[in-house]
């Protein structure tokens, strides 16, 4: 892969599912993520990229998973395995602390919070593609959770839609090392235009 030039006017930071349930001690999914997250330095890397994007004038798009509510999936014919788990665990439940954004990533004026996704891809059944077009975005940098499900599906969809896709190895996490390896060494290289670590991304972003 050649070196990508990220211009502030055409690059977006997609921050996927920055909920307390994923990112905070006490969150429903945090115990399953903790080992990998701490090893890669997830929180610090997310904070560093987030700050660098703001400083560079790169717009931040919050790409949130559907917040669970008791009536969800009522009458659905084909609830997928991840949704089955959410039904049991009530991850990202509306009105709970776990379903709030981590305090470091609460949207500010100028950030775009797109419609919530029901599955894995932030583009599927939401307004993300249109919102990106309305801001003239051609390049997406995708960070947040989980590396092999929502991040990967968002990346695969972005590629199909015609965007330039950047993954960041240590600004995401998954439930095991094997899943991280699959996301960044096995599958990412088939669809992503750039796979960086946080240091290299910070170096490549405009100032």
Tell me if 160 contacts its own copies by CB under 8 A: yes
Tell me if 135 contacts its own copies by CB under 8 A: yes
Considering only 89, 115, 197, 200, the residue that binds its own copies (CB under 8 A) is 115
Name the residue nearer to its own copies (CB basis): 51 or 186.
186
Name the segment binding its own copies (CB under 8 A); options: 18-26, 34-42, 89-97, 146-154. 146-154
CB of 44 to its own copies, least distance (A): 26
Name the residue nearer to its own copies (CB basis): 38 or 135.
135
Outline where 11-162 has alpha helix (H).
20-23, 30-40, 42-56, 81-89, 128-134, 152-161
Considering only 39, 57, 104, 125, the residue that binds its own copies (CB under 8 A) is 125
Token pair recorded at residue 14: 């997609």
What is the distance between the alpha carbons of residues 98 and 67, in angstroms, rounded to a whole number? 10
Percentages helix, strand, coil for the chain (3-state, rounded to 5) are 40, 20, 40
Name the residue nearer to its own copies (CB basis): 48 or 72.
72
Q: Decide if 79 contacts 34 (C-beta within 8 A).
A: no
Name the segment binding its own copies (CB under 8 A); options: 15-23, 26-34, 92-100, 153-161. 153-161
| Bridge partner list, 172 | 144
- The 78-97 contact track toward its own copies, x by CB under 8 A, reads x-xxx---------------
Tell me if 118 contacts its own copies by CB under 8 A: yes
Tell me if 149 contacts its own copies by CB under 8 A: yes
Q: In what order do the strands lie in the sheet with 112-113?
A: 112-113, 59-63, 11-16, 139-145, 164-173, 194-196
Closest CA to 10 of 166, 191, 203: 166
Token pair recorded at residue 56: 């560079």
Tell me if 5 contacts its own copies by CB under 8 A: no
Q: Are strands 112-113 and 59-63 parallel, antiparallel or unpaired?
A: parallel
What is the distance between the alpha carbons of residues 167 and 175, in angstroms, rounded to a whole number? 18
Name the residue nearer to its own copies (CB basis): 25 or 161.
161
Query: What residues line the site for its own copies (CB under 8 A)?
Result: 1, 59, 71, 74-78, 80-82, 109-110, 115-116, 118-121, 124-127, 129-136, 138, 148-149, 152-153, 156-157, 159-165, 178-179, 182, 186-187, 189-193
């Amino acid at each position: 892969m050649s070196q990508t030039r990220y211009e502030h006017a055409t690059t977006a930071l997609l921050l996927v599912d920055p909920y307390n349930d994923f990112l905070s001690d006490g969150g429903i999914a945090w115990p399953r993520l903790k080992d990998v997250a701490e090893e890669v330095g997830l929180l610090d890397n997310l904070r560093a990229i987030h700050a660098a994007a703001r400083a560079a004038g790169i717009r931040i798009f919050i790409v949130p998973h559907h917040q669970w509510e008791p009536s969800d999936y009522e009458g659905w014919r084909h609830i997928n395995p991840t949704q089955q788990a959410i039904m049991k665990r009530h991850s990202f439940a509306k009105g709970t602390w776990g379903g709030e954004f981590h305090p470091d990533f609460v949207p500010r004026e100028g950030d775009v919070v797109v419609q919530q996704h029901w599955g894995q891809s932030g583009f599927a059944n939401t307004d993300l593609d249109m919102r990106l077009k309305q801001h003239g975005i051609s390049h997406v940098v995708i960070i947040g959770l989980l590396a092999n499900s929502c991040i990967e599906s968002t990346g695969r969809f972005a590629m199909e839609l015609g965007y330039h896709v950047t993954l960041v190895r240590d600004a995401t996490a998954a439930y095991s090392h094997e899943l991280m390896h699959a996301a960044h060494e096995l599958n990412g290289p088939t669809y992503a235009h750039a796979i960086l670590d946080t240091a290299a991304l910070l170096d490549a972003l405009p100032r």
